[in-house]
Amino acid sequence: MAAGIRFDPYVVPALDGVAYGLLVFVAAAGLVLCFGVAGILNLAHGTLYAIGGYTAAALLDGGWPSLALALAVGVVAATASGALVAGLLTRVAARSHLTQALLTFGVALAGGSLLVGAFGPDDPPVRVPAALDGSVAVAGHRYAAYRLVFIVVAALLAGLLHLVVRRTRAGMLVRAAVDDAEMVAVLGVSPARIRVGVLAAAGALAGAAGVLGAPIIGPGPDTADAVLLLSLVVVVLGGLGSMTGTLLAALAVGQIQTLGVALAPSAAPFLLFAAMALVLAVRARGLATVRSAT
Amino acid sequence: MSLTTSRHRRARTAALLALVLLAAPACADGEGGAGPGAPVRIGLLASLSGTYQAVGKDIRDGFQLYLSTHDGKLGGREVELVVADEGNGAATAVPAATKLLKQDRVVALTGVVGGGSVAAVSPLLAETKVPFVGSNGRPELKDVSRVWHTSYLSDEPGEAIAQHVRDDVKGSVYAIGPDYQGGWDELRGFTEAFAKAGGKLANPDGKTTFTPFPATTNFTPYFARIKASGADAVYTFYAGSAAVDFVKQYAQSEVKDLPLYAAGFLTEGGVLNAQGEAARDIYSVLNYSPDLDNAENRAFVAAWKAEHDGSPTTYAMASYDAAAVLDRAIAAAGDDVTPDRVNAAIGQLGQIASPRGTWQFSPTTHAPVQKWYLRQVRQDGRALSNTVVGDLATVGG
């Protein structure tokens, strides 16, 4: 066993880093859309993920139909919640980010309490479809089957997201709104409608991530905060407005959280934030351009 | 200009109001304590909101269960139980305890989930000279003359199971736990006793691996290290959501076939439901299990199940015992129930019959000298439950 010290022990953490990174990507993509496009700092984003997670815990019963149902219900509930946040934000959308942050933070606190009130203070169990509730052999190691499948599904979601943003009219409008919101308004498309649409789409993404990611980052009283924090780190690392940047940042966060911890466990508490500080220090100009754009 | 005057006026009003509020209870009760016939006022402080609310509610319900099964009386006296919310820790616990001790002037204080809360409240207890019968958190304390615990010290579970793990496992054991005071104590208790018994840790540097708390939600990288270490078994302590993550991921990891030994909190209470099948076969050490076969426990479990879903936890049991301790101490205190007399009476209790089996307070630490049990997660009817499979050491003092 001691012979394979160089590379072998790190196969599973590296693979897990991909699963983790893709989950963080799907969760953070919504936040990037909100902030980059609508210029809204939605601190209730983690709560939208938690809604998806609790839905999964409530509806999953170990069969495939329940997964489809949970995905549908979770996405619809989180989308509606995203639209609700957009509705609450209509009056303060033009104001500073501090106002938005305060309002959405309040929504996050209230939403978190409502979820705990509805589902209880314990972390509810999440039952994945029985066929995936085990482990499979990967290069001589055991790895959770669900996570392996999740990698495929999340990669598909990421590809789909890329296509939507790049190829569809909605995606083009959204990208146009990032570059020049006034010009889009001149084209006859209300920025307010784009804002509602983007927040709802962000909610849908967070809801989908919450349902599919529930077996990985499970629902509980701390879930919303944890997901929000990871998403914010990804937003900072990846820069705004770029899905490719977000994907790379999310994958990096995944590897830092798994491979990084396996390689340097004593540095685990601050690896992620050290990486974030480093990127900020080196890429300060990138952040400055973002500031002026919003 | 007008703003400043109104602020002055408001400040004066507030000061007056504060004076009135402070004076009112002082007039109502000249002194802490209850004369003959008057109800005895007990304060219960527990986390009814926040991260530890599951534990806090068990503590409240355990105490109330004792009251409701004893006609609402302790020591033959009517009891007025004043419940306050500890919240997430010291910041919320201190004002709540201040209210119980200074405004409500309780004869004794019980409950308290967090060790940090106990440490923060202890100066208040020393100041007001009210005895504290804690039912969970127990930090390092210099002066325990008025502090009693019906729970355990954090290093005792590991100490109690070490010899068994040494005898049972052929080879080395990997020790891993959360990086905070509770985790250090729990793992130190195990590793010290395990080394004394001649056991060898599998950790590469011979020291316990501590994971950032509560930041760690993905344990896969640590499992890879355990695998690489060539360990033959794992000993751990986690509680709450970290316990759920650890157990679920362990069951699907490459170390899933290594036997897992743990301090009982890994699979205690609500977390076991969340873990489900993943928790099957885990060995844990705890001072209580709902399937213990004694008369006190049968009565306790039956009464609990009549009011609640599921079986009682060790948290509820410890709080039930805190009520039992106060019951006997108040009876022994005589007609004039004062904090001092209750405290003196607790010191004289001797053996206490309890759902966990008979135990007594250690004269030095004021925590229980009690038997610890080896439990395994097994099928019990429809649900998984912690089933006692053997007795371990009697530890305490």
Co-location of B191 and B123 in the same domain: no
Q: Is it the case that residue A7 has pLDDT exceeding 80?
A: no
Residues B326 and B256 reside in one and the same domain? no
Q: Does B51 touch chain A (CB under 8 A)?
A: yes
Specify if B315 maps to a domain: yes
Whether A2 is covered by a domain: the verdict is no
Q: B247 and B328: one domain?
A: no
Higher pLDDT: B224 or A94? It is B224
Q: For Cα atoms B95, B101, B105, give the angle at the middle one, nearest 5 degrees.
A: 140
The answer to whether position B21 is within a domain reads no
Half-sphere exposure of A104 (CA within 13 A, CB side): 33
User: Domain of A145?
Assistant: 13-293
Residue B10 domain-assigned? Answer: no
Examine residue A1 and state whether it is found in any structural domain, yes or no: no
Cα distance between residue A207 and residue A199, in whole Å: 12
Contact B138, B115 (CB under 8 A): yes
Q: A283: which DSSP letter?
A: T
In a domain, A4, yes or no: no
Measured between alpha carbons, how far is B298 from A157 in angstroms, rounded to an integer?
54
Domain count, chain B: 2
- Give the H/E segment covering residue A142: strand A141-144
Note the pLDDT tens digit of each residue in A236-279.
Answer: 888 766 778 889 999 999 998 888 888 887 777 788 888 888 88
pLDDT, mean of residues A70-99: 87
Question: Which pLDDT value is given to residue A291?
Answer: 40
Residue at A171 is within a domain: yes
Tell me how crowded residue A97 is: count the other CB atoms within 10 A of its CB. 12
Tell me the C-alpha distance between A54 and B48, whole Å. Answer: 21
CA angle (A161, A162, A167) in 5-degree steps: 105
Q: Whose structure tokens read 């195990």?
A: B190
Beta bridge partners of A66: none
Q: B232 to chain A nearest CA, in Å?
A: 12
Q: B221 and A123: CB-CB below 8 Å? A: no
A125 vs B57, B220, B276: nearest CB: B276
Q: Does residue B379 share a domain with residue B261? A: yes
Q: Do B133 and B226 fall into the same domain?
A: no
Closest CA to A57 of A221, A226, A254, A228: A221
Structural domain contains residue B75: yes
Residue B147 and residue B49 share a domain: yes
B316 with B331, same domain: the answer is yes
Give the span between the Cα atoms of B396 and B119, in whole angstroms.
20
Cα–Cα distance for residue pair B131/A59, rounded to 1 Å: 48
Given a cut of 70, the residues of chain B with pLDDT beneath it are 1-33, 397
Tell whether B281 and B380 lie within a shared domain.
yes
**Contact criterion met (CB < 8 Å) for A1 and B230:** yes
A257 to chain B: which residues are within 8 Å by CB? 218, 221
Cα–Cα distance, B237 to B190 (Å, whole number): 10
Return the CATH number at B328: 3.40.50.2300
- A203: pLDDT strictly greater than 50: yes
Range of the domain at B318: 40-152+294-366
Q: What is the rounded distance in angstroms from the CA atom of residue B334 to the CA atom of residue B345?
A: 10
- As given in the structure block, the two tokens for residue A71 are 């995905």
- Same-domain status, B213 and B275: yes
Q: How far apart are CA A86 and CA A100, in angstroms?
A: 10
**Ramachandran angles phi, psi of B204, nearest 5°:** -55, -40
Residues 6+ away with beta carbon under 8 Å from A280: A236, A287
B385-389, long-range: CB within 8 Å, 24+ apart, which pairs? B385/B272, B385/B290, B385/B291, B385/B311, B386/B264, B386/B267, B386/B268, B386/B272, B386/B284, B386/B286, B386/B289, B386/B290, B386/B291, B387/B289, B387/B291, B388/B289, B388/B291, B388/B292, B389/B283
| pLDDT score, position A289 | 43
**Contact A1/B at CB under 8 A:** yes
Cα–Cα distance, B354 to B257 (Å, whole number) = 37
For residue B132, the model assigns a pLDDT of 97
pLDDT at residue A294 in the model? 36
Other Cβ atoms within 10 Å of A138 Cβ, number: 15
Residues of A in contact with B273 (CB under 8 A): 122, 125
Predicted local confidence at residue B296, as pLDDT: 95
Model confidence at A285, pLDDT cuts 50, 70, 90, reads: very low
- Selection from A176, A183, A212, A211 nearest residue A36 by Cα: A176
Of residues A280 and B14, more confidently modeled: A280
B18, part of any domain: no
pLDDT band, residue A197 (cuts 50/70/90)? confident
A3 in a domain, yes or no?
no
Percentage with pLDDT > 90 across chain A: 35
User: Is residue B45 domain-shared with residue B165, that is, in the same domain?
Assistant: no
> Taking all residues of chain B, what is their mean pLDDT, rounded to a whole number?
89
pLDDT tens digits for range B330-381: 999 988 899 999 999 999 999 999 999 999 999 999 999 999 999 999 998 8
All residues at 6 or more sequence positions from B43 whose CB lies less than 8 Å from its CB, including other chains: B82, B84, B97, B100, B101, B104, B106, B108, B109, B110
My answer on whether B346 and B385 are in the same domain is no
The answer to whether residue B90 sits within a structural domain is: yes
What is the rounded distance in angstroms from the CA atom of residue B148 to the CA atom of residue A45? 45
What is the count of structural domains for chain A? 1
Query: Which residues lie across from B149 on neighbouring strands?
Result: B134
Kind of pairing, strands B132-134 and B173-178? unpaired
Is residue B245 within 8 angstroms of chain A, CB to CB? Answer: yes
- B181 and B270 share one domain: yes
Residue with tokens 């610890």: B372
Q: What is the Cα–Cα distance from B50 to B296, expressed in whole angstroms?
A: 32
> Which pLDDT score, from 0 to 100, does residue B18 have?
52
Residues of B in contact with A2 (CB under 8 A): 230
Distance between CA atoms of residues A226 and B383, nearest Å: 31
Instruction: Write down the residue that tokens 């038997």 correspond to.
Output: B371
Please indicate, yes or no, if residue A230 is contained in any of the structural domains. Answer: yes
